[in-house]
Chains A and B, each alone.
Chain A
Amino acid sequence: MPHNWIPNSSPDVKKELMRELGISDVLDLFNDIPPEIMLNRGLSVGFGKPLTEYGVRRLFNEIISKNRLSTTPSFIGGGVCQHYVPSVVKAVLSRPEFYTAYTPYQAEIAQGLLQALFEYQSLMANLYGVKIVNASMYNGSTASAEAVLMAARVKKRKKVLVSDSVHPEIIDVLRSWGFGAGLEIVKVRVDLKSGETDLSDLRSKLDQNVAAVFIQTPNFFGVVESAIKEIIDETHRFNALSIVYSNPLTLGVFEAPGNLGADIVVGDVQGLGISLNYGGPSAGILGINDDKELLRQLPGRLIGATRTQGGDELGFTMILQTREQHIKREKATSNITTNSSLEAVGAAVYLTLLGSQGLRKLGEAILGRTHYLIKRLLSAGVAEPLFPESLHFREVGVRFRGKDADQVIKSLSSRGIGIGPALSRFYRELSDCSLVCVTELHARKDIDLLVEVLEEVLGGG
């Protein structure tokens, strides 16, 4: 079945290639496969026959017309939120020299890609206040799991404390990834008044068996962990490693976790010019504040600057590959090979497009909108913030006073407004609560509309 994606599929070309091999049937090349396992029928995939390009376009459009976007910018939170993706980022990421390239194993022909990744590492290291950031993990959740596994290897301890204010799906991922290594993942309670990690519960659970303490700030409820410094210091008192997950968009406004003493930092680039993508792909940020012990155990690729042999021209190449699976095999620091280079480049483009000025302003714009949302909710009185006294960024936990959150979310969705996720999905006791997210995309009238519709749905204040 010849096809224009397969240039040598035309019978004449095939004949020429076969002549070189001295065969007359392509099937001769498969004569070493036991006949009893050969598939003696066509694959039943696709739509029965090859489609034309206009045919597949039409079919695809029919399918995705069943997807619905809200009429206002989305208010849905939960670790990822809708942000603006600048045209510049899209333009750069559609350069085929970048997106159709493989991992830059042949450095000399891939200098541009390597330099872009080097710039990503440098920008992120400064943003998070750490010495080294690798060339990306799959996403924030797997970067978290790799961070925890790395900490356990370095400390040769099996227990990891995780705040219950960390994204519940990240905690799930830590559990699955830790299963093979025999890690014990222990949750630290959240203070129900502030929505922050409960320091006294943390103190009671810290001991000499703890490899790491993992917190997120702003946490899953959008609450800034104000005692981050104390948590890090407590962690260090037990010679354990402090792992802090934070949203890069906050770091123009809030101090970098690395500068507050975190040993390992993690995050996700979604929002830095990277779309929601129904949850993926994105890129995971993983950084360390030590270029010795932690560096030896760092998973993933790392790009370094160097010079030409016997010359002094600047160049870039992958470095410290002896940590990686293709060389170290079962002793490697991780099995990762494919990562998220393209999204990492996208994040670098985004950061340079905004600059330090823009990133600070963006952080403030989101902080201001979050503050406005909380004020409006408090004055309307129909749906109260879960933690009204706490400092929030981007996301806010909201309680619907006994009304089932799933029902409220559905009512809003039918009016073209998306909020969520319902917190009952993760915490049984929070059945009447949901997250609401605001970003630079929300104008004042969008937030006003949200509050008005909430008043309508919840029956006034």
Chain B
Amino acid sequence: MPFRQAKWDEPIIFEVSDFSKQTFLIDEEFADEVSEALSKVPKSLARGSELKIPNLSEVEVVRHYNRLSQMSYGVDVGPVPLGSCTMKYNPKICEELASDPRITELHPYQDEEEVQGVLEIMYLMQRWLSEITGMDECSLQPPAGAAGEFVGALIMKKYHHDRGNDNKNEMIVPEAAHGSNPASSAMAGFKVVKIPTAPNGETDIEALKSVLSDNTAGLMLTNPNTLGIFESGIIEISDLIHGKDALMYYDGANLNGILGVVRPGDMGFDIVHLNLHKTFAAPHGGGGPGAGAVCVKKGLVDYLPVPIVGFDGRSYKLRYDLSRTIGRVSWFYGNVVPIVKSFIYIATLGPALREVAEVSVLNTNYLMSKLRRLRGVTLPYGENRWRKHEFVVSFENLLKETGVSAEDVAKALLDRGLHAPTIYFPLIVKEAHMIEVTETETKENIDRLAKAYEEIVELAYRDPQAVKSSPTNTSVKRLDVLVANHPKTMAPTYEYLSRLRAQET
């Protein structure tokens, strides 16, 4: 399928400015009061500096942003097989219903009696997510997955503190973990202890034993892990951690492949975070907003952030009565609109959620089976193991033999109208492509992706420069990241860019 991305010579918004234009109309109903009030504003507080916002007519604004949107790419345009990102299709009914003013115009400080509908949705989500994870209660307050991890780590910190175990200051994190795990641990004040991955692609249990101590606060693990491999030793791992009076944290970014098949709570985890914008189909918004949830076992419910939603059999209430709460991690109650979208998604599928896991795993292994056969491609770790939601291949051999890197291959995928997967992650695999097609891709598209890889690899051996000069069908050719990041040429705003341009001329 030939692909040419739109390419508009769209100026930066400051360059289309024209002061003769009529902008969005604001009323002058209170003109007298305005002049009275303005006379009370001390000169030192009044805006004296220039406001550099262009004054455009409505049609210019609309065209500008629509043209920019045409130079962007999302799941509604084509597959986005980014590993660990679970870029599934976002059903349109979820979008439409969640944009109802009876959701979007609700004020967070409205009386609880006036918002029983949204509280009911949140309450049901707390119940459903508890059921899905095998936990006892959830908080929907974390605005994203990483915020959920941070909450989990803070819960561990406070739990050990309350039990007089302030010595428990070490968080064990596998090398292959998502980068947010060690970052969240550090933010919660833990020292991060790394453990390696064994050749079978699972956590190295002997290494785990060797770092366990009385200072161990907990383990952060995702299962299936970032190689897409299920940690079959999970029972032994959780027994080891619990034997040290430490807690098990489940990173839910990879839940999609085991939905309804096996639950973190049954694996021995005590705390779980979920990314509603991955597993439960809320869109990613070009980077956000997401929505997180943190779910815990009985003994930890009192530590959850407040408020959570309670139900007394008659009405729904915001509950602040959690005695050991870590406090608020965000104001208000979480990212409610994505929560509502995920509610509609789960309500629609119900028990068919298990189908999500089964087909996403089937799709993963199908694509993996096709890619691992390709020249220059290897499948490091656990060669004979099935993957779950995602898999990781290495282009190390391709690079050695042709000079074509994982990044070059990624850019060549763009040229074929496909988004590239996650590259150079996990760090334990060289020249990695981490691929997750999810359950929402058709067989035809998966075949297309496999075919694209085949063509690119073949081209790499025949004419490596052709691959290295990609992309050419996207709005721009390959960008210079050195110029972008160099302190002298860095331009994070239009001001910087203008200054650089002035220097050049």
Q: Which of B25, B260, B350, B419 has the most CB of A within 10 A?
A: B350
Assess the A17–B89 pair: CB atoms within 8 A.
no
Chain B nearest CB: distance from A233 CB in Å? Answer: 12
Chain B 110-130 interface residues, beta-carbon cutoff 8 Å to A: 110-111, 113-118, 120-121, 128
Closest to B107 in A: A76
Contacts known (A34-B235, A122-B494, A341-B287); A111 close to B146, Cβ less than 8 A: no
Closest to B140 in A: A280
Query: Is A379's beta carbon under 8 Å from chain B?
Result: no
Closest to A343 in B: B289
Interface string of B40-63 (1 = CB under 8 A from A): 111011111111111110100110
Please report the C-alpha to C-alpha distance between residue A113 and residue B243 in the assembled complex, in whole angstroms. 49
On chain B, the residues within 8 Å of A234 by CB distance are: none
Closest to B484 in A: A306
Assess the B68–A116 pair: CB atoms within 8 A.
yes
On chain A, the residues within 8 Å of B30 by CB distance are: 365, 368-369, 371-372, 444
Assess the B491–A64 pair: CB atoms within 8 A.
no
Assess the A357–B55 pair: CB atoms within 8 A.
yes
Assess the B26–A361 pair: CB atoms within 8 A.
yes
On chain A, the residues within 8 Å of B331 by CB distance are: 79, 139-141, 167, 169-170, 172-173, 279
A7, A320, A349: the one contacting B443 at CB < 8 Å is: A7
Chain B nearest CB: distance from A374 CB in Å? Answer: 9
Query: Is B213's beta carbon under 8 Å from chain A?
Result: no
Please report the C-alpha to C-alpha distance between residue A239 and residue B396 in the assembled complex, in whole angstroms. 50
A1, A64, A110: the one contacting B100 at CB < 8 Å is: A64
Query: Is B321's beta carbon under 8 Å from chain A?
Result: no
Interface string of A312-346 (1 = CB under 8 A from B): 01011101100011111111101111111111010
On chain A, the residues within 8 Å of B31 by CB distance are: 368
Please report the C-alpha to C-alpha distance between residue A81 and residue B64 in the assembled complex, in whole angstroms. 29
Please report the C-alpha to C-alpha distance between residue A8 and residue B365 in the assembled complex, in whole angstroms. 13
Assess the B483–A307 pair: CB atoms within 8 A.
yes
Assess the A440–B184 pair: CB atoms within 8 A.
no
How big is the B interface, by class?
35 or more
Interface string of A410-451 (1 = CB under 8 A from B): 100100001011000000000000000000100110000000
Contacts known (A78-B109, A329-B182, A391-B41); A47 close to B477, Cβ less than 8 A: no
Assess the B91–A5 pair: CB atoms within 8 A.
yes
Query: Is B295's beta carbon under 8 Å from chain A?
Result: no
Query: Is B199's beta carbon under 8 Å from chain A?
Result: no
Chain B nearest CB: distance from A48 CB in Å? Answer: 6
Assess the B443–A16 pair: CB atoms within 8 A.
yes
Q: Which of A7, A63, A108 has the most CB of B within 10 A?
A: A108
Assess the A43–B52 pair: CB atoms within 8 A.
no
Please report the C-alpha to C-alpha distance between residue A390 and residue B275 in the assembled complex, in whole angstroms. 44
20 new A-B contacts at CB < 8 Å, known A33-B262, A338-B277: A64-B118, A65-B102, A80-B108, A98-B72, A98-B74, A108-B478, A109-B475, A110-B286, A113-B69, A115-B12, A127-B51, A135-B287, A306-B479, A309-B478, A325-B183, A329-B179, A330-B173, A340-B143, A367-B41, A421-B109
The stretch that binds A, out of B352-360, B398-406, B458-466, is: B352-360
Interface string of B188-226 (1 = CB under 8 A from A): 111010000000000000000000000000000000000
Please report the C-alpha to C-alpha distance between residue A65 and residue B115 in the assembled complex, in whole angstroms. 9
Assess the B72–A113 pair: CB atoms within 8 A.
yes
Please report the C-alpha to C-alpha distance between residue A290 and residue B454 in the assembled complex, in whole angstroms. 48
Chain B nearest CB: distance from A116 CB in Å? Answer: 5
> 13 A-B residue contacts at CB 8 Å?
A30-B258, A30-B262, A45-B353, A47-B347, A126-B53, A324-B179, A334-B183, A335-B149, A339-B289, A342-B289, A349-B65, A370-B37, A421-B109
Assess the A67–B492 pair: CB atoms within 8 A.
no
Please report the C-alpha to C-alpha distance between residue A102 and residue B81 in the assembled complex, in whole angstroms. 10
Assess the B442–A352 pair: CB atoms within 8 A.
no
Contacts known (A127-B51, A277-B103); A63 close to B153, Cβ less than 8 A: no
The stretch that binds B, out of A191-199, A207-215, A250-258, is: A250-258
Please report the C-alpha to C-alpha distance between residue A274 and residue B326 in the assembled complex, in whole angstroms. 29
Chain B nearest CB: distance from A445 CB in Å? Answer: 10
Assess the B289–A67 pair: CB atoms within 8 A.
no
Please report the C-alpha to C-alpha distance between residue A76 and residue B105 in the assembled complex, in whole angstroms. 12
